[in-house]
C-alpha cells in the first residue's frame, strides 16, 4: 500500500498524514493511493465525506469508464494504457474522486502519469482541483497515442507480409496474428470509447467540486480521445480487410489447384474408358488384332491432346 497526501500551502507543496484531510479543506490537496486497502479508503471517505457507492466502485478493478455526480463530490473511472512490450497492452483503471479542494486518485500498481503530475504540482503550475484533473486526464490520454500507433505499424507489417507471401506458406501464422491483433483493437476500443462520455460532461463544467472556466481544456482532451477512437476504428477495419484479402488469396490458390486436378482427371477419364473396354477379363476379346492395338493407342493420344487443348 502507498498513500500520499500532497498539500499546497503558502506557495509550496508538502506531504501530510491521511488523517488530516478534513483539516486541510481550505487548501488544494492531491491524494494518491496505490494498491489501496480498505482501511485507507475508509479513512479518505470519512475525511472527505465520500459516497459509499463511489467507494464500492473504487474497489472494483473492472469498472467501465464512467462519471457519477454525488451531492458533495464527483467520481470518475478512467483508464491508463501502456505497452511495455510490442505484443502486450496493459490497461489500468484509475478511480478519481473530485471533492472541493481535493483530488483523490486510486489505482493498483504504479501510475506512469503520476510522476509528471507531481512535478507540475510542486512547480506551482497546477493550483486548483480543475487544473489537477485536467493535467491527469491529459497525461493519461497522451500515452494512448504511442500504443495505437504501434498497432498501426503491426497492421502495415502484416499486410506487407501477406502481399509478399505469394505462395501462402505463412497462411496460418499470419491469420493467427491478424485475429489476435483485431481482438486487441476491439478490447482497446471498449476501454477508450466510453471515455468520450466522461469528457463530454467535464467539457460542460457539469461536475461538483470543479471550478468553472476549464471547459475548453477538457474539450481538448475530448478531441484527443475521439481522434484515438477513430484511429482504432480505422486500424480495425484495415485488419478486417487484410483478413478478407488473405482468405481470398488462399481461396484463389486452392481454385487453381482444383482446376489443374480437374483437367488431369478429365483426360484420364476418357483414357480409362477406352483401356477398360479392351482390358476386360473375357476369354474372347472382339476385334483382336495388332492393328487395332495401335489404333487404340492413337485414339488415346488424340483424345488426351484434344481435351488438353
Q: Are 74 and 67 in contact (CB under 8 A)?
A: yes
In the predicted model, what is the mean pLDDT of the chain?
A: 80
Summarised one tens digit per residue, pLDDT across range 91-102 is 899 999 988 888
Q: Say how many Å lie between the first and final Cα of the chain, rounded.
A: 81
Question: Quick one: CA dihedral 282, 283, 286, 292, positive or negative?
Answer: positive
**C-alpha distances in angstroms, 51 versus 97, 98, 283?**
10, 12, 103
Confidence band for 259, pLDDT divided at 50, 70 and 90: confident
- Determine the Cα–Cα distance for residues 188 and 18; give it in Å rounded to an integer: 35
Residue 227 has a pLDDT of 94
Q: SS3 sequence, 156-209?
A: HHHHHHHHHCCCCCCHHHHHHHHHHHHHHHHHHHHHHCCHHHHHHHHHCCCCCC
pTM exceeds cut of 0.85:
no
String of DSSP letters for 72-100: S-EEEEEEEEEEEETTEEEEEEEEEEEET
86 pLDDT band, cuts 50/70/90, is: low
Question: Is residue 279 scored above 70 in pLDDT?
Answer: no
pLDDT, tens digit, 9 for 90 and up, residues 135-168: 999 999 999 999 888 888 888 777 777 666 655 5
pLDDT of residue 96: 92
Amino acid at each position: 500500500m502507498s498513500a500520499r497526501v500532497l498539500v499546497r500551502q503558502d506557495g509550496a507543496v508538502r506531504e501530510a498524514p491521511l488523517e488530516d484531510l478534513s483539516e486541510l479543506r481550505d487548501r488544494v490537496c492531491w491524494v494518491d493511493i496505490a494498491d489501496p486497502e480498505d482501511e485507507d479508503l475508509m479513512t479518505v471517505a470519512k475525511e472527505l465525506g465520500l459516497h459509499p457507492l463511489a467507494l464500492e466502485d473504487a474497489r472494483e478493478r473492472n469498472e467501465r469508464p464512467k462519471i457519477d455526480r454525488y451531492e458533495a463530490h464527483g467520481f470518475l473511472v478512467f483508464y491508463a494504457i501502456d505497452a511495455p512490450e510490442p505484443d502486450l497492452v496493459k490497461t489500468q483503471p484509475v478511480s478519481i474522486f473530485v471533492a472541493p479542494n481535493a483530488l483523490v486518485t486510486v489505482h493498483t500498481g504504479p501510475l506512469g502519469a503520476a510522476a509528471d503530475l507531481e512535478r507540475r504540482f510542486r512547480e506551482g503550475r497546477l493550483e486548483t482541483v480543475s487544473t489537477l484533473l485536467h493535467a491527469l486526464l491529459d497525461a493519461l490520454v497522451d500515452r494512448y497515442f504511442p500504443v495505437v500507433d504501434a498497432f498501426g505499424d503491426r497492421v502495415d507489417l502484416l499486410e506487407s507480409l501477406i502481399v509478399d507471401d505469394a505462395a501462402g506458406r505463412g497462411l496460418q501464422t499470419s491469420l493467427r496474428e491478424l485475429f489476435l491483433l483485431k481482438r486487441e483493437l476491439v478490447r482497446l476500443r471498449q476501454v477508450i470509447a466510453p471515455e468520450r462520455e466522461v469528457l463530454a460532461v467535464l467539457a460542460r463544467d457539469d461536475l461538483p467540486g470543479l471550478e468553472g472556466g476549464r471547459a475548453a481544456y477538457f474539450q481538448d482532451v475530448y478531441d484527443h480521445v475521439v481522434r484515438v477512437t477513430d484511429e482504432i476504428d480505422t486500424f480495425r477495419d484495415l485488419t478486417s480487410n487484410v483478413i478478407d484479402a488473405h482468405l481470398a488469396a488462399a481461396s484463389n490458390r486452392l481454385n487453381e489447384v482444383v482446376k489443374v486436378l480437374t483437367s488431369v482427371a478429365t483426360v484420364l477419364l476418357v483414357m480409362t474408358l477406352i483401356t477398360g473396354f479392351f482390358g476386360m477379363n473375357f476369354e474372347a476379346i472382339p476385334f483382336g488384332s495388332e492393328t487395332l492395338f495401335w489404333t487404340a493407342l492413337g485414339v488415346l493420344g488424340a483424345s488426351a491432346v484434344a481435351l488438353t487443348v
